[in-house]
Amino acid sequence: MPVNRSGAPASHRPLGILAALPQELGDLIEAMRAESGVRTITHGQRDYHLGTVHGAPCVVTLARIGKVAAAATVSALIHAFDVDAVVFTGVAGGVGGDVRVGDIVVADALLQHDLDASPLFPRFEVPLLGVSRFAADAALADRLAAACERFVAEEGVASAARFGTREPRVHRGLIVSGDQFVASAAGVNALRDALPDALAVEMEGAAIAQVCHEYGVPCAVVRTISDTADDHAPESFVSFLTEIAGAYSNAILTRFLDARTAQV
């Protein structure tokens, strides 16, 4: 059963927005401070920032890195802050053959690539839950993808020129998560062999999707590709995170939140 502790209609409840690292949130908290002011609540050693941004009530926070950190954070968003939906933004390594640095991936489904309780349960399946691939909320993912497409149409050429990347493309499909930074040709090829339809790899999304699935809360995940998860990943990741990640997140979330406000 979906959680709604306040009893308020969904249109009055905040959206939860989170990322693993501060660079991945861009200027979202500063935009909130300028628009409505920010009320910050510390809960479970994390700061949750409450306010309105682009006309939408939001709770913005950092999950930190890894599946446990992400699961703990999204659980707090659901139970302590009564969010009506969750959006996770950040960067990821490209796995799909046509996914390149600078592209954007919106998850249709998420899976934990390092979960293996076989032979007791099938590889990748969450024990006692019977699910390996957790679907993103279709409507939320559609709106997030539409925001990405608008960003590409309006700023894609200029962004590519500014950052020295190719013009971004938007992909939809499977994002996989695990508690490891995949940074070798052997590692990324193993993922491709085991999960041929995987588009991107990161360290939080599938855990968030599982928690949201269990509590009936819509979630969506968007990732900008910072590296190709191979031997060049460490330097590519750091450079992309520092120079590009925030600009992409700002552009995508601005369009997403503007559209969300217009629908209310």
pLDDT at 217 over 90: yes
Which pLDDT does position 162 carry in this prediction?
85
Domain assignment present for residue 66? The answer is yes
Structure tokens at 107: 């998850």
The residues that are catalytic are: 24, 227
43 - beta bridge partners?
46
Q: Which residue has the higher pLDDT, 8 or 184?
A: 184
Q: Are 229 and 95 within 8 A, CB to CB?
A: yes
Domain assignment present for residue 110? The answer is yes
Give me the mean pLDDT over the 99-128 stretch: 97
* pTM, 2 dp: 0.92
Give me the mean pLDDT over the 16-29 stretch: 92
Tell me the pairing of strands 198-202 and 170-177: parallel
Give me the mean pLDDT over the 122-148 stretch: 98
Q: How far is CA 11 from the centre of its chain?
A: 22
Domain assignment present for residue 5? The answer is no
Side-chain half-sphere CA neighbours of 102 within 13 A: 18
pLDDT at 145 over 80: yes
φ/ψ of 95, rounded to 5, equals -120, -45
CA 244/CA 156 separation, integer angstroms:
13
Q: In whole numbers, what is the pLDDT of the chain averaged over residues?
A: 92
pLDDT at 111 over 80: yes
CA 158/CA 141 separation, integer angstroms:
25
pLDDT band at 264 (very low <50, low <70, confident <90, very high): low
CA 106/CA 224 separation, integer angstroms:
9
CATH code, domain carrying 203: 3.40.50.1580
CA 192/CA 96 separation, integer angstroms:
8
Which pLDDT does position 1 carry in this prediction?
45
Domain assignment present for residue 4? The answer is no
Domain assignment present for residue 58? The answer is yes
Q: Are 150 and 162 within 8 A, CB to CB?
A: no
Instruction: Name which of 17-26, 51-60, 88-97, 160-169 the model is least confident about.
Output: 160-169
Which pLDDT does position 240 carry in this prediction?
83
pLDDT digits (tens, 9 = 90+) for 150-198: 999 999 999 888 888 889 999 999 999 999 999 899 999 999 999 999 9
pLDDT at 3 over 70: no
Structure tokens at 233: 């990943």
Nearest residue to 80 (alpha-carbon basis) of 158, 5, 132, 155: 5
Domain assignment present for residue 3? The answer is no
Q: How many domains does the chain have?
A: 1
**Using H for helix, E for strand and C for coil, what is the string for the chain?**
CCCCCCCCCHHHCCEEEEECCHHHHCCHHHHHHHHCCCEEEEECCEEEEEEEECCEEEEEEECCCCHHHHHHHHHHHHHCCCCCEEEEEEEEEECCCCCCCCCEEEEEEEEECCCCCCCCCCCCCECCCCECCEECCHHHHHHHHHHHHHHHHHHHHHHHHHHCCCCCCEEEEEEEECCCCCCCHHHHHHHHHHCCCEEEEECCHHHHHHHHHHHCCCEEEEEEEEECCCCCHHHHHHHHHHHCHHHHHHHHHHHHHHHHHHHC
pLDDT at 7 over 80: no
Q: Which residue has the higher pLDDT, 163 or 201?
A: 201
Domain, as residue range, for 103:
10-263
pLDDT at 59 over 60: yes
Give me the mean pLDDT over the 53-74 stretch: 97
Give me the mean pLDDT over the 217-231 stretch: 91
Domain assignment present for residue 70? The answer is yes
pLDDT at 39 over 70: yes
pLDDT digits (tens, 9 = 90+) for 232-258: 766 777 778 888 888 899 999 999 999
Domain assignment present for residue 43? The answer is yes
